[in-house]
Amino acid sequence: MNTASLQFDQVSKVFPGVKALNGVSFEARAGQVHGLLGENGAGKSTLLKILGGQYRPDGGRLLLNGQACHFSSASDAIKAGIAVIHQELQYVPELTVAENVLLGRLPQRFGFVDKKAASAMVAARLAAIGVDLDPDALMIDLSIAQRQMAEICKAVLQDAQVIAFDEPTSSLSHRESEVLFKLVKDLRASGKTLIYISHRLEELYALCDCCTIFRDGRKVATHPVMADVPRDLLISDMVGREVSDIYDYRPRQLGQERLQVRGMLGEHLAAPLDFAVRAGEVLGFFGLVGAGRSELMRLLYGADARSQGQVLLDGQTVSAKGPSAAIEAGIVLCPEDRKEQGILAQSSVAENINISCRRHGLLGGLFLRHAREAALADAFIKRLRIKTPNREQEIRLLSGGNQQKVILARWLAEPDLKVLILDEPTRGIDVGAKNEIYRIIHEVAESGCCVIVISSELPEVLGIADRVIVMREGRISGELDRSAASETAVLRMALPDLV
């Protein structure tokens, strides 16, 4: 058996104001899946970026099969047999799937790219791992999940000894996740060294042989046998406190119907849709990838043009003129694609929080109140436990989960919040933070707002929603009250009819 192994020895990395990694040591063995866990901002991705040659460590070293290696670029790491699937997908939108997968090593014939061979090669590999994707499709035309699968295929095709996955399932649906799990298991069987980061504990238990837990840039513990670690220990290692019921659901008194959506129809919906939300209600939306949940919410929010439909809030028609009108009426949306639609990447945390709500507190109706904005930002950083050196940090430098919290803060700062729509709010978020977000969701609901949560994680929907609407292929395929909503009931509504 292959004994290749990867050792991290006292690895440290410092960013201005942040000690992202602080003397981390552990070893990942061949033929094993080594799980990495930790809160948002604990330093997991930073470690993988060092592994992938993207960053150089400020201290410590990497040993591959006992040999110290120093990567000065990504290509060095690739040459050494390391493949990393990064948390932020790294693809070229205007190139095809095949070209993306083979980027950096396109097959050539007589000096020309052999496109046929490339397509065939990628098609074969995609088929082998069970992914249904056209290798000649442009990346930009794919869904996020499909892009993710292409990225995974890219790493696998590198024929690396070490493959590291950074939250690969965060944007995958159930079915694609299954494909991935099988792939990971096959790779393990073939003796590869695998590193796997995820915030989903079930996944980690199902896949990993052992795990290492991070907190604040330090290693807290390495557990050699994953199956032996009790769940509560994992969570408390990670979060540094006990979390009993992460969904934290408490029954609430529901009020009148506040939000009514009537005959909503847009480009990607199959039929006009109606639904309503009561004051204080948390309404969950479940569906498979592409079911049309995001589209429905974007139409409601005025982000996309509707072909018909109406939104009533407290009996008043809400203008469809665009997000600004919706916000003015008290409807806000946290979009699903954080990087493209959510964050203002180069702006500070404070700026990202204040961008919308600041219009309420202008000096003389014109000038910004800097002190007030700063105080507000600080308050939210504290309340949501956003991990950032200070409020002036550019948001793109925060870890993914913390970025999500900032976007949430942006909307919680709205003084007149009536409807809070969250599209995949806990994607890429650690257990502790998830718990905090659920708490906030309940808080908001308790104050009499409507909360709509779209999620592709079934347990989450079932755990927090008072009522679940299920969508399928651009239609509402069913609706269940909390009491009636079981996994099977919901899935039956979400899956295409089995003919």
Partner 1 sequence: MKKPLNRAWLTEHSMTLGYAVLFLVLAVSVENFFSAANIVGLMLSVAQIGMVACTMMLCLASRDFDLSVGSTIAFAGVLGAIILEHTQSVTLAVGGGLLAGALIGAGNGVLIAYLKVNALIATLATMLMVRGLAFIVSQGQAVGIADEGFIAFGDARILGLPLPIWVTGACFLVFGVLLNHTVFGRNTLAIGGNPEAARLAGVKVEKLRVWIFLLQGLVTALAGLILASRITSGQPNSATGFELDVISACVLGGVSLQGGKARIFGVLIGVLIMGTVENVMNLMNVDAFYQYLMRGLILLAAVLLDQLKARGSKHG
Ligand X SMILES: Nc1ncnc2c1ncn2[C@@H]1O[C@H](COP(=O)(O)OP(=O)(O)OP(=O)(O)O)[C@@H](O)[C@H]1O
Stretch that binds ligand X, among 33-41, 121-129, 244-252, 368-376 (CB under 6 A): 33-41
Comparing CB distances to partner 1, the nearer of 281 and 351 is: 351
Amino acid letter, 225: V
Fill in the amino acid letter for 498: L
* C-alpha–C-alpha distance, residues 45 and 136, integer Å: 31
CA–CA separation, 34 and 51 (whole Å):
14
Name the minimum Å distance from CB 453 to ligand X: 12
Site string for partner 1, 259-298 (x = CB under 8 A): --------x-------------------------------
Considering only residues 6, 11, 18, 210, which one is a binding residue for ligand X as defined by CB under 6 A? 18
Q: Is 472 in the site for ligand X (CB under 6 A)?
A: no
Nearer to partner 1, 86 or 215 (CB): 86
Is 108 near partner 1 (CB under 8 A)? Answer: yes
Is residue 87 part of the contact set for Mg ion (CB under 5 A)? yes
Distance in angstroms (rounded) separating the CA atoms of residues 292 and 295: 5
Q: Which does 351 bind (CB under 5 to 8 A by kind): partner 1, ligand X, Mg ion, none?
A: partner 1
Closest approach of partner 1 to the CB of residue 486, in Å: 34
Which residues are CB-neighbours of 310 under 8 A, at least 6 positions away?
261, 262, 263, 264, 317
Residue 398 near residue 435, CB atoms below 8 Å: no
Q: Report which residue type is found at 293.
A: R
Q: Closest distance between partner 1 and the C-beta of residue 13, in Å?
A: 13
- Residues in a beta bridge with 196: 35, 165
Q: What are phi and psi of 274, to 5 degrees?
A: -130, 140
Three-state secondary-structure class, residue 6: strand
Tell me if 479 sits within 8 A of 283, measured CB to CB: no
Six token digits for residue 412: 């919680």
Considering beta carbons, is residue 214 or 411 the nearer one to Mg ion?
214
Decide if 175 contacts 491 (C-beta within 8 A): no
Residues 6 or more apart whose CB falls under 8 angstroms from that of 230 comprise none
Which of ligand X, Mg ion, partner 1, none has residue 113 at its interface (CB below 5 to 8 Å by kind)? partner 1
44 lies in the site for ligand X, by CB under 6 A = yes
Residue 375, interface with partner 1 (CB under 8 A)? no
If binding is defined by CB under 8 A, does position 112 make contact with partner 1? yes
Residues numbered 262-291 forming contacts with ligand X, rule: CB under 6 A: 268, 287, 289-291
- Give the pair of three-digit tokens for residue 428: 């890429």
φ, ψ at 10 (rounded to 5°): 55, 40
Q: How far, in Å, CA of 444 to CA of 406, rounded?
A: 16
Rounded-to-integer distance, Cα 493 and Cα 497, Å: 9
In the list 8, 26, 34, 43, the residue contacting ligand X (rule: CB under 6 A) is 43
Q: How far apart are CA 23 and CA 408, in angstroms?
A: 33
The item of partner 1, Mg ion, ligand X, none sharing an interface with residue 105, based on CB under 5 to 8 Å by kind, is partner 1
Does residue 340 belong to the site contacting partner 1 (CB under 8 A)? yes
Question: Which partner, Mg ion, ligand X, partner 1, none, binds residue 324 by CB below 5 to 8 Å per kind?
Answer: partner 1
Closest CB to partner 1 among 16 and 230?
Answer: 16
Q: How far is the CB of 49 from ligand X (least distance, A)?
A: 7
Quick note: the x/- pattern for Mg ion over 266-305, rule CB under 5 A, is ----------------------------x-----------
Size of the site for partner 1 (CB under 8 A): 58
- Residue 75 binds partner 1, judged by CB under 8 A: yes
Asked if 415 and 246 touch (Cβ cutoff 8 Å), the reply is no
3 binds partner 1 (CB under 8 A): no
Helix (H, G, I), strand (E, B) or coil at 165: strand
Extract the tokens encoding 241: 């406190």
- Kindly tell me which of 5 and 403 has the beta carbon lying closer to Mg ion: 403
CA distance 25 to 220: 10
Q: Which of 29, 147, 154, 258 binds partner 1 (CB under 8 A)?
A: 154
Cite the beta strand spans of 50-146 per DSSP E. Answer: 59-64, 67-69, 82-85, 108-109, 112-113
Chosen from partner 1, ligand X, Mg ion, none, partner binding at 260 (C-beta under 5 to 8 Å by type): none
CA 458 to chain centre: 15
Q: Please, which residue, 291 or 407, has the CB nearer to ligand X?
A: 291
Q: In the complex, which residues of this chain contact ligand X (CB under 6 A)?
A: 15, 18, 20, 38, 40-46, 87, 143, 268, 287, 289-295, 336, 387, 397-401, 430, 456
Q: In the complex, which residues of this chain contact Mg ion (CB under 5 A)?
A: 45, 87, 294, 336
